[in-house]
Amino acid sequence: MSFCLTNDSNTSMFLMTHVMKPFIEKFKIPSMKKPHEKVRLHLDKKNQDVDKKANKGRKRIVFELGDFVWYIFARSNLPLIA
């Protein structure tokens, strides 16, 4: 039974709500979760690869409470005053 049968205009509401809905919930929804999970994992891996390449050569600095930092004010960093 194909999923596209529910898109047919000749399909009665009874068939869609009482016959097709349990079928769709039982078979179609779990089968769609697997590809979605696979795509999400692939995107996460690619994002990590991009982050790794973008941050290559940067030194990791961890600031502690009480450390002094030097900040240069630029016009683009200041808030707009109306």
Mean pLDDT over 27-50 rounds to 87
Mean pLDDT over 50-69 rounds to 92
Amino acid identity, position 26: K
Supply 26's token pair.
């039982």
When pLDDT is cut at 50, 70 and 90, the band that residue 1 belongs to is very low
Closest to 3 in 3D by CA, of 23, 15, 12: 23
Given this model, what pLDDT does residue 13 score? 67
Supply 9's token pair.
């205009």
This prediction has a pTM of 0.42
73 Cα distance to chain centroid: 36
Given this model, what pLDDT does residue 36 score? 84
